[in-house]
């Protein structure tokens, strides 16, 4: 079994070595000044096969691992000496000396260090596999076939350019003979008898040139037909599929949204089509400039018209929204915009040719040509706070033709007024779009080009964010076709459980780097789906019973306080009370599991354990911990310090094994840290009451609860809209590069700088 673990883990270091330089730098920084990466490299198999997490909390295990590390280094050193290699190898002796000098007295420090580094390595690898912007997308067989077609077409047009150039030379030579032969005959009467032979030879050359021209045109027809099929695939299949992947990625799906392949194909096809037009123009000029006319001018003109149509189809579809609208303080929930708060969006032109650089000026327009503005009563109207147009350029590191709109914000033009016609939609069900429009003038042609964002929801209060995100998820799971139905929530279709299950799982993957497992999804299914057809209706999910608000509270709990424990799989989470009892009653006393509270809407977590008294087993559950309490006492410390006091019995910690049989210290010891006391909710009577206490010799004040983000979905009810706006404004302002130095100034200087700005700026309450 130990060898199997090592074999599986061996891939971890190998995969790290395959990463790009930036990510490898992250790996190096994990070890820099702490542990030699040479040891990590040369003993990677053995290091990855050890349980460093347990060794970090059990001294005997730590010393065993320490001695094992020394023995393996000694073995490697002996082997390098025996092989007697001429070139110097790794300095295993020096590595061994380092380990002895730094960790012999504290082997648990070595175990803790390697446990942490191995875990961080996994996070780096996980970030690569989950990244939606992978720069080197894996080629599927379908993509490989398309890529080969594009490459073959580029090769064909390259060869045809040579043919057309050769035809130009043949035409020039024939024209020269035909124009100079008569004057040579007049100068030399003896050449007159050869005139018939010369004329015959010129005729042969003329026929050869025309035949060659026919062949070239036929090859150009083949290229155009191939280009037509490729454009149909790009605009009708690949681009819509990419847009669908982007939709799913926006709502948490682990989708690859790299544009590199589409960029490559659009650019290559555009380059080929422009080259075809160029060659057709040269062939047309040859027919006009030389007496040896092929009579193909009409065919060439028809081919040129077809080429222009293909170019138009390609270029009018080449503008895309590469990064959908997102606010800086809500990066994990794009497509939600708040009035007066800055957001950013990036557009890209896929046909990246030098001829198009600085030729495309893109202007964003809010709700352009949206029928809902006219037909849905009460539909709100918005506009941008500033006129913002950008010229597409290639300043990006990957050389893409793109523009980033980084300082956009919205203002409301027409608000709903009391007494007006009631809108069938709530503000979080209203869907809007941003269109990006531009005009391209090229080679006498005018191209009107547009690209649309995915539908956005505009909110006026941060408390509306959870409901808005429910709308974003519902829409993008249902709608994959253009034009987008912005009135979807007037009569929202239901989702099947097969659609909703992965959607919910993605939310936990996004905030905690771990999706829901089948058992967790089964519990949610029983809670959400209550009809025989297996459908989940919008009102059930987000309105009447608001299952989503409960799930969203749990997501926020994980994001802020439980991400590590959730990622490690220590939180069972979604398990009913009945299933909790069935799981624990068959386990030894002291076995416990961690689950989310089903009764607290804003998100809370509890643990249940099995106890035995008078020969009978009983299941107990602690009063749930909320976000407020976890902000001053981590769940790991709560479990570590939990004490149960019962009459007639000594106070003990009843928690021994994390279900199914993991020693508590093995699971949680690495997360222990000092925390201050916290109060509990005394109004809850369905649980065993608890009291949190930490004793120290010289107590220090408990750490202050972290300040909520200006766009926190759990806004304090006492916080006013004006303070929200002020916080958001300052957040945007301090995000400017020229203010970044404030982060590194001494505390008193930071205060002075902010005061100076507030005094001399134009802030008003």
What residue ranges do the domains of the chain occupy? Answer: 2-130, 141-315, 319-490, 499-533+544-703, 721-760
Q: Is the peptide bond before 191 cis (omega within 30 degrees of 0)?
A: no
Q: Cα separation of 52 and 670, whole Å?
A: 11
Distance CA 14, CA 39 (A): 14
Instruction: Give Cα separations from 533 to 479, 529, 530, 538, 544 (angstroms).
Output: 21, 9, 9, 15, 20
* Residues, the chain: 765
User: DSSP assignment, residue 378?
Assistant: T
CA distances from 640 to 343, 658, 673, 678 (A): 43, 12, 10, 15
End-to-end CA distance of the chain: 66
CB 265 within 8 A of CB 239: no
* Separation of alpha carbons 561 and 559, rounded Å: 6
CA-closest candidate to residue 252, choices 489, 476, 535, 428: 476
Report if pTM > 0.85: no
Task: Report how far residue 508's alpha carbon sits from residue 399's, in angstroms, rounded to the nearest whole number.
Answer: 34
Task: Give the model's pLDDT for residue 654.
Answer: 87
Superfamily of structural domain 499-533+544-703: SH2 domain (3.30.505.10)
- Count of C-beta atoms within a 10 Å radius of residue 416: 15
Rounded distance between C-alpha atoms, residue 747 and residue 724, angstroms: 24
Task: Give the whole-angstrom CA distance, residue 120 versus residue 661.
Answer: 25
Q: What is the CA radius of gyration of the chain?
A: 35
Q: Return d(Cα 571, Cα 665) in angstroms, integer.
A: 15
DSSP designation for 330: G
CA distance 84 to 606: 61
Q: Evaluate the CA torsion angle 47, 48, 51, 56 in order and state its sign.
A: positive
Q: What is the pLDDT of residue 744?
A: 41
Going 106 to 108 to 109 to 111, the CA torsion angle's sign is positive
DSSP state of 688: B
Per-residue CA distances from 234 to 147, 239, 243, 350 (Å): 11, 6, 12, 11
For the chain, give me the number of helices (H) and strands (E)?
Answer: 26, 19
Count CB atoms within 10 A of the CB of residue 180: 10
pLDDT score recorded for residue 122: 85
Residues 556 and 469 sit within 8 Å (Cβ to Cβ)? no
**Taking every pair of C-alpha atoms in the chain, what is the biggest distance, in angstroms?**
139
Q: What is the pLDDT of residue 708?
A: 36
**What pLDDT score was predicted for residue 239?**
94
- Take residue 406 and report the two structure tokens written for it: 């980084």
Residue 451 is predicted with a pLDDT of 94
**Residue 593: strand, helix, or coil:** strand
- Residue spans of the chain under pLDDT 50: 1-10, 131-136, 675-684, 693-720, 736-765
Q: What is the pLDDT of residues 629-684, one digit of tens each?
A: 998 889 999 888 888 876 666 678 888 899 888 888 888 888 887 544 444 444 44
pLDDT for 323: 94
The DSSP secondary-structure symbol of 356 reads G
CATH 1.20.1050.20 for the 141-315 domain, yes or no? yes
pLDDT digits (tens, 9 = 90+) for 751-765: 332 322 232 333 233
**What pLDDT, on a 0 to 100 scale, did the predictor assign at position 754?**
33
Please count the other Cβ atoms lying within 10 Å of the Cβ belonging to residue 586.
10
CA 740 and chain centroid, separation: 26
What is residue 596's predicted lDDT score, i.e. its pLDDT?
94
Give the homologous superfamily in CATH for domain 319-490.
STAT transcription factor, DNA-binding domain (2.60.40.630)
Give every CB contact of residue 211 below 8 A, 6+ residues apart in sequence: none
Contact 489, 479 (CB under 8 A): no
- H/E stretch holding 326 reads strand 319-327
Q: Which CATH code for domain 2-130?
A: 1.10.532.10
Q: How many CB atoms lie within 10 A of CB 32?
A: 11
């Amino acid at each position: 079994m130990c060898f199997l673990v090592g074999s599986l883990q061996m891939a971890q270091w190998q995969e790290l070595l395959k990463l790009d330089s930036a990510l490898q730098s992250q790996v190096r920084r994990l070890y820099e000044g702490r542990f030699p990466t040479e040891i990590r490299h040369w003993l990677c198999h053995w290091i990855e096969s050890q349980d460093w997490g347990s060794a970090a909390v059990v001294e005997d295990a730590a010393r065993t691992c320490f001695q094992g590390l020394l023995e393996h280094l000694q073995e490697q050193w002996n082997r390098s000496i025996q092989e007697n290699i001429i070139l110097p190898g790794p300095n295993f002796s020096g590595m061994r000396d380092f380990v002895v000098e730094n960790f012999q007295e504290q082997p648990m420090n070595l175990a803790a260090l390697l446990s942490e580094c191995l875990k961080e390595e996994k996070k780096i690898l996980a970030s690569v596999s989950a990244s939606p912007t992978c720069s080197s997308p894996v080629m599927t067989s379908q993509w490989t076939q398309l890529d080969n077609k594009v490459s073959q077409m580029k090769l064909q047009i390259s060869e045809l350019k040579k043919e057309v150039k050769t035809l130009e030379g043949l035409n020039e030579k024939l024209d020269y003979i035909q124009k100079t032969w008569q004057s040579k005959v007049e100068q030399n009467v003896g050449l007159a008898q050869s005139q018939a032979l010369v004329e015959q030879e010129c005729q042969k050359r003329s026929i050869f040139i025309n035949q060659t021209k026919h062949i070239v045109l036929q090859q150009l027809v083949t290229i155009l037909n191939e280009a037509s099929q490729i454009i149909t695939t790009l605009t009708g299949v690949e681009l819509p599929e990419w847009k669908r992947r982007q939709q799913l990625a926006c709502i948490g799906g682990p989708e690859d949204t790299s544009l590199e392949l589409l960029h490559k194909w659009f650019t290559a096809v555009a380059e080929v089509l422009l080259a075809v037009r160029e060659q057709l123009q040269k062939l047309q000029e040859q027919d006009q400039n030389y007496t040896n006319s092929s009579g193909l001018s009409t065919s060439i003109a028809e081919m040129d018209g077809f080429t222009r149509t293909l170019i138009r189809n390609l270029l009018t579809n080449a503008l895309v929204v590469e990064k959908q609208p997102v606010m800086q303080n809500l990066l994990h929930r794009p497509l939600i915009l708040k009035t007066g708060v800055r957001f950013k969006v990036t557009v890209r032109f896929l046909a990246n040719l030098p001829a198009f650089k600085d030729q495309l000026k893109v202007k964003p327009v809010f709700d352009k040509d949206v029928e809902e503005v006219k037909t849905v009563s009460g539909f709100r109207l918005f506009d941008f706070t500033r006129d913002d147009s950008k010229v597409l350029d290639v300043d990006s590191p990957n050389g893409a033709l793109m523009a980033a709109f980084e300082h956009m914000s919205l203002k409301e033009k027409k608000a709903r007024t009391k007494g007006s016609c009631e809108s069938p939609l709530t503000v979080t069900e209203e869907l809007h779009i941003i269109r990006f429009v531009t005009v391209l003038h090229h080679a006498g042609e005018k191209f009107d080009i547009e690209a649309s964002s995915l539908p956005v929801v505009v909110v006026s209060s941060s408390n509306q964010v959870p409901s808005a995100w429910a709308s974003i998820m519902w829409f993008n799971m249902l709608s994959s076709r253009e034009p987008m139905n912005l009135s979807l929530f007037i009569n929202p279709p239901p989702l099947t459980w097969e659609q909703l299950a992965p959607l919910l799982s993605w939310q936990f993957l996004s905030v905690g780097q771990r999706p829901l497992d089948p058992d967790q999804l089964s519990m949610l299914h029983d809670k959400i789906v209550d009809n025989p057809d297996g459908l989940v209706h919008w009102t059930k999910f987000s309105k009447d019973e608001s299952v989503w608000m409960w799930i969203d509270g749990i997501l926020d709990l994980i994001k802020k306080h439980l991400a590590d424990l959730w990622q490690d799989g220590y939180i069972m989470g979604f398990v009913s009370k009945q299933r909790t009892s069935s799981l624990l009653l068959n386990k030894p006393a002291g076995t416990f599991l961690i689950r989310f509270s089903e009764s607290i809407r804003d998100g809370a977590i509890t643990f249940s354990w099995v106890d035995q008294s008078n020969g009978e087993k009983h299941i107990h559950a602690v009063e749930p911990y909320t976000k407020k309490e976890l902000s001053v006492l981590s769940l790991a410390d709560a479990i570590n310090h939990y004490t149960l006091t019962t009459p007639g019995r000594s106070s003990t910690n009843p928690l021994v094994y994390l279900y199914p049989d993991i020693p508590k210290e093995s699971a949680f010891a690495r997360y222990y840290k000092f925390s201050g006391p916290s109060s509990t909710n005394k109004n809850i009577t369905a649980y065993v009451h608890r009291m949190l206490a930490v004793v120290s010799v010289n107590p220090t004040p408990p750490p202050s609860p972290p300040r909520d983000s200006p766009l926190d979905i759990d806004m304090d009810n006492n916080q006013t809209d004006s303070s929200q706006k002020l916080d958001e404004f300052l957040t945007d302002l301090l995000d400017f590069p020229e203010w970044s130095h404030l982060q590194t100034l001494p505390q008193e200087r930071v205060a002075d700088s902010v005061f100076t700005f507030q005094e001399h700026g134009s802030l008003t309450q």
